[in-house]
């Protein structure tokens, strides 16, 4: 096997056994980037020199560590890509906008700091929709990313570059961020695993804010076990982010292989409405696989996802207009004339919904409906009223769409993310895992949603499904 095709779990085992070095692993990933990224455009910045320098340091450390000490560095020597909206010290960070074309942060985001402390090698910064505005990676000021399974198709977004870099084996794993779908939807379209943690489980400090009440950093990986490993590193209270939770962090790897016999899966018809037949069939087939493992399926009624579109649009645009106000070109970056059309649209709509006379009519009403969505999920998960343990449905209504699909469609992202928006609005954790392919050979993803802070449970269900199938082993032909 080529070294760059390994998962974190496989690479770690071999690095520990000194089967190859971190330098060799990093070089294999850099070689893959050089070979294929002109076509895929997953990266904005590749950190070849610093990555090799850090890999040499990792090798030196590995040679001096006992097996027990090695375990203190859960990602030691592993090359990882980071979405370009996380601040990286001395590495250009653009959020895929020409406003920040020349911005080099003087500090690391907490997520990046934790990755480095765990021994990870930052190999580069991945392309995204500018400011994370979109679900196609076509709003990037650095050109659209393409789907490795078929480069005439979109990878999804906004973490499209991260998902494509993992699917194309340009890295061992990637870090993305999700406001409403930006991890799970590109993971689904690119045939990889995308985990969106509970809001507040991982720190937002140093993440360029889009919608501060929704943004959640998380991993995009080749297998479920790798997502558990990265979440173990990222999760926990951060004194630099007041929205992070004091809740203790469980051992996510410990329960991965636990039996799911008796687990109650909720299935809502509303999450299959308007979904492509191929997607519907594959997800229903995946639910049957979980039933064979002993899970119990219960039909439930959930707040129809289509109503979340209006709520999300108002809340997100309002927070965008506030967060983008700081980019005035005075302290750093370029002036506001460099904003793209999508950013301008969102700023204008957000400013409108927050303005005097319209605040109650739009923003305040959206917050009230958000509360109804939260209560609806609480009711569905309530054990005292016979609630379910997890909810399963398609991640996206369709497989990847052709390049150019988002052009002239201002609501493209909201439509592509309709099935993940409700859980994001409620701050719930969710994971997308590959569950098949369309006749066109494009990946299909299934999402598993749990109550707040139930990452261990959704990882367990996702892992047991993955072990029963071969989808995660299939690779695109580049």
Question: Would you call 318 a catalytic residue per the annotation?
Answer: no
State how far the Cα of 211 lies from the Cα of 367, in Å rounded to an integer.
14
**Residue 350: both structure tokens together:** 């957000």
Question: Would you call 83 a catalytic residue per the annotation?
Answer: yes
Instruction: Let me know: does 446 contact 427? Beta carbons within 8 Å.
Output: no
- Tokens 């005035």 label which residue? 328
- Tokens 């020199």 label which residue? 49
Catalytic residue (choose from 158, 177, 268, 396): 158
Question: Would you call 158 a catalytic residue per the annotation?
Answer: yes
The Cα angle at residue 40 between residues 78 and 135, in degrees rounded to 5: 90
**Residue 255: both structure tokens together:** 């329960």
> How do beta strands 390-394 and 264-268 pair?
parallel
State how far the Cα of 11 lies from the Cα of 7, in Å rounded to an integer.
6
Beta bridge partners of 432: 194, 447
> What would the DSSP string read from start to end of 173-226?
EEEEEESSSTTHHHHHHHTSEEEEPPTTSB--TTB--S-TTT-EEEEEESSHHH
Instruction: Let me know: does 224 contact 433? Beta carbons within 8 Å.
Output: yes
Instruction: Let me know: does 414 contact 473? Beta carbons within 8 Å.
Output: no
**Distance between alpha carbon 196 and the CA centroid of its chain, in Å?**
6
State how far the Cα of 347 lies from the Cα of 175, in Å rounded to an integer.
26
CA atoms within 13 A on the CB side of 420: 35
Instruction: Let me know: does 221 contact 230? Beta carbons within 8 Å.
Output: yes
Q: In what order do the strands lie in the sheet with 173-178?
A: 43-46, 121-126, 79-83, 173-178, 216-221, 193-196, 430-437, 443-449, 390-394, 264-268, 296-300
Instruction: Let me know: does 112 contact 86? Beta carbons within 8 Å.
Output: yes
> What would the DSSP string read from start to end of 285-343?
HHHHHHHHTT-EEEEE----THHHHHHHHHHHHHHHHHHGGG-SSSSSS--GGG--HHH
Per DSSP, which regions of 301-403 are E strands? Answer: 390-394
> Of 158, 171, 177, 145, whose CA–CA distance to 81 is shortest?
171
State how far the Cα of 177 lies from the Cα of 185, in Å rounded to an integer.
11
> How do beta strands 43-46 and 264-268 pair?
unpaired
Other CB atoms within a 10 A radius of the CB of residue 239 amount to 9
Instruction: Let me know: does 358 contact 364? Beta carbons within 8 Å.
Output: no
Catalytic residue (choose from 12, 27, 83, 114): 83
Residues annotated as part of the active site: 83, 158, 182
């Amino acid at each position: 096997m080529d070294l760059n095709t390994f998962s974190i779990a496989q690479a770690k085992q071999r690095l520990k056994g000194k089967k190859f070095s971190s330098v060799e692993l990093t070089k294999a990933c850099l070689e893959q980037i050089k070979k294929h990224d002109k076509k895929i455009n997953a990266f904005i910045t590749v950190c070849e020199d610093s990555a090799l320098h850090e890999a040499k340091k990792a090798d030196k450390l590995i040679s001096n560590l006992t097996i027990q000490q090695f375990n203190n560095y859960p990602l030691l020597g592993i090359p990882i890509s980071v979405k370009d909206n996380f601040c990286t010290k001395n590495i250009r960070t653009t959020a895929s906008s020409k406003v920040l074309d020349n911005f080099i942060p003087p500090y690391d985001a907490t997520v990046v700091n934790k990755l480095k402390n765990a021994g990870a090698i930052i190999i580069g910064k991945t392309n995204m929709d500018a400011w994370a505005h979109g679900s196609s990676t076509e709003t990037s000021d650095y050109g659209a990313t393409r789907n490795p399974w078929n480069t005439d198709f979109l990878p999804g977004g906004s973490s499209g570059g991260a998902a494509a870099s993992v699917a194309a084996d340009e890295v061992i794993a990637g870090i993305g961020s999700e406001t409403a779908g930006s991890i799970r939807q590109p993971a689904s379209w690119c045939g990889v695993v995308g985990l969106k943690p509970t809001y507040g489980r991982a720190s937002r400090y140093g993440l360029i804010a889009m919608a501060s009440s929704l943004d959640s950093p998380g991993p995009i990986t080749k297998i479920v076990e790798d997502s558990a490993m990265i979440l173990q590193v990222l999760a926990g209270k951060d004194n630099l982010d007041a929205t992070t939770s004091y809740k203790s962090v469980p051992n996510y790897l410990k329960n991965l292989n636990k039996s799911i016999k008796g687990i109650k899966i909720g299935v809502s018809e509303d999450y299959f409405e308007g979904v492509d037949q191929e997607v519907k069939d594959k997800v229903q087939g995946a639910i049957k696989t979980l039933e064979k493992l002993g899970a119990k399926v219960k039909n439930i009624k959930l707040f129809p996802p289509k109503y979340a579109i209006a709520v999300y649009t108002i809340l997100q645009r309002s927070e965008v207009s506030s967060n983008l106000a700081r980019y005035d070109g005075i302290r750093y970056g370029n002036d506001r004339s460099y904003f793209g059309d999508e950013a301008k649209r969102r700023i204008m709509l957000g400013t409108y919904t927050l303005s005097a006379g319209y605040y109650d009519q739009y923003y305040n009403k959206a917050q009230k409906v958000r509360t109804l969505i939260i209560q609806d999920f609480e009711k569905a998960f309530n054990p005292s009223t016979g609630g379910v343990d997890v909810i399963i449905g398609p991640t996206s209504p369709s497989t990847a769409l052709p390049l150019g699909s988002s052009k002239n469609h201002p609501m493209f992202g909201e439509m592509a993310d309709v099935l993940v928006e409700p859980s994001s609005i409620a701050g719930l954790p969710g994971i997308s895992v590959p569950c098949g392919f369309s006749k066109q050979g494009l990946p299909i993803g299934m999402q598993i949603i749990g109550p707040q802070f139930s990452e261990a449970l959704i990882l367990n269900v996702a892992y047991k499904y993955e072990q029963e199938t071969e989808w995660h082993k299939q690779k695109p032909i580049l």
